[in-house]
Structure 1
Amino acid sequence: MTLDLYGFGPALAAGALMTIKLALSALSLGLILGLLGALAKTSPYKPLQWLGGGYSTLVRGVPELLWVLLIYFGTVSLLRSLGEWIGYPELELSAFAAGTIALGLCFGAYATEVFRGAILAIPKGHREAGQALGMSKPRILWRLILPQMWRIALPGLGNLFMILMKDTALISVIGLEEIMRRSQIAVTSSKEPFTFYLVAAFIYLSLTIVAMCGLYVLEKRAGRGFVRAVA
């Protein structure tokens, strides 16, 4: 028995590829924002602490779907005005760019707390040892703090990435043709909702399994030379 996709197989494959591109783009942006947010929250300077705390609190307090809509539609008038000023009235933010910004913003807010917890889990003696060796603060951060932080934060970041991949379905509301959008188009044409939504579920599940395998490899690599405590 073969699954009849009514000729929408290539379209669904293209949607899966778009989902992967969107997830990786948002991940890249989110990791940068999360690291900056965590460094701000663990900074000894109060303004930076307020900035990092305000970012994570504000973004996590608003649903991801609302961020998608706000970023996509909220920039229409701004970009139109800017486009008219520079002589390019068609200037607008693409659905892919809006999705990347929205999902990256949300991922970064949650990653801020993951990175912050990882930084606080590193013993203060490691920093003191670096200072005793005459290392500068940037070098201590780069050589001592970040490698350990990455190992500690990796499981939490992996879980956030799993959520991020599924949240890419939200971008279908602004017209990006990822898995959900392609599935909806196929359902409208074929009148077979169960078939195509089941295929979409299978694709998301497959992507999640691949991501889990990749995360396992990264955790093994990051944990080289580290002996876990036995309870």
Structure 2
Amino acid sequence: MATNYREMSAAELLALEPPGWGGALLDGLAISLQVAVLGYLIGILIGLGGAVLKRSGGPITRDLMGLYTTLVRAIPELVLILLAYFAMPELINQMLSGFGFERIEINGFVAGVVVIGFVQGAYATEVLRGAMGAVPVGHIEAAQSFGMHPLRIFARITVPEMLPSALPGLSNLWLIATKDTALLAVVGFTELTLAARQAAGATKQYFLFLLAAGALYLIITLLSGWIFRLIENRVNRGAHHV
């Protein structure tokens, strides 16, 4: 028997149990956050490496990193997602076939994580490069004079001292990552936006479900802002005590 959604109230339509669609929206939100977190962490790792190479690498390395950051920031994320989902698997499979290996499948989750990490890495490179420039050179030189290993200097001095300058930019990048997950709907990956569209299409309650999706994104934004403010206050308090 078909469900008559027109006779259901907004609370019933948003209920967590079927025939309500609230559970589907929360499942989509959970998947969106998984993609965003993984992509964001990968982006920070790329950004750290890219920032170090841009500041300390040779001319060729700096030029390559500059090309990477320029291209990624110039190409829309949607185009990159389509490339990762459709073009990249075909290219990889052609190479694998040439070596006698089996074809692989790249799903929307993997494509999303790869693209968000790749894009976040370009922006994080610039954010972290600028933050590293705020670390007093004298602190680095003092550590070197004591014979500290470069990796130890980076972990014990550079990273803690650059955090106050880097956190505002990293906070913005996290919010961008959460919103970029909505672009995965174009390749049929069921994250929050596509879940809301599916619910809206089934019930014809477009305003209700798109508004609900927007409200969930807003909640994530507010919670993220609060968490990053706590982190910034703690980091800044620690920096003032140094």
**Which residue of structure 2 lines up, in the alignment, with residue 3 of structure 1?**
11
Identity of aligned residues (%): 39
Residue from 11, 14, 36 that aligns with 2:27? 14
| Mean Cα deviation higher: 46-55 or 33-42 | 46-55
Q: Quickly say closer, same or farther: Cα 1:83–1:22, change in 2 above 3 A.
A: farther
For 1:163, the aligned partner's letter is: I
* Structure 1 runs not aligned, ≥5 long: none
Alignment of 1:170-209 (within 5 A): 170-209=183-222
RMSD between aligned residues: 1.9
Deviation at 1:223, TM superposition (A): 2.2
**Which residue of structure 2 lines up, in the alignment, with residue 121 of structure 1?**
134
Question: May I ask how many residue pairs the two structures share in their alignment?
Answer: 227
Asked if 2 retains the 8 angstrom alpha-carbon contact of 1:37 and 1:56, the reply is no
Residue from 151, 161, 175 that aligns with 1:162? 175
Alignment of 1:27-176 (within 5 A): 27-81=40-94, 82=96, 88-89=102-103, 91-176=104-189
Post-superposition CA distance 1:135-175 (Å, at most 9, x none):
23222222111111223201110011111111110011111
Asked if 2 retains the 8 angstrom alpha-carbon contact of 1:40 and 1:51, the reply is no
Deviation at 1:87, TM superposition (A): 5.6
Deviation at 1:75, TM superposition (A): 1.9
Distance 1:9 1:226 in 2: 44
Distance 1:164 1:153 in 2: 16
Distance 1:134 1:85 in 2: 48
For 1:161, the aligned partner's letter is: W
For 1:97, the aligned partner's letter is: V
Asked if 2 retains the 8 angstrom alpha-carbon contact of 1:30 and 1:105, the reply is yes
Asked if 1 retains the 8 angstrom alpha-carbon contact of 2:185 and 2:191, the reply is yes
Post-superposition CA distance 1:65-118 (Å, at most 9, x none):
1111111111232344326965644x2111100000111111111111100100
Q: TM-score, normalized by length of structure 1?
A: 0.91
For 1:43, the aligned partner's letter is: S
Asked if 2 retains the 8 angstrom alpha-carbon contact of 1:39 and 1:116, the reply is yes
For 2:77, the aligned partner's letter is: E
Distance 2:10 2:21 in 1: 14
Distance 1:4 1:74 in 2: 42
Distance 2:176 2:101 in 1: 40
* Structure 2 runs not aligned, ≥5 long: 1-8, 14-18
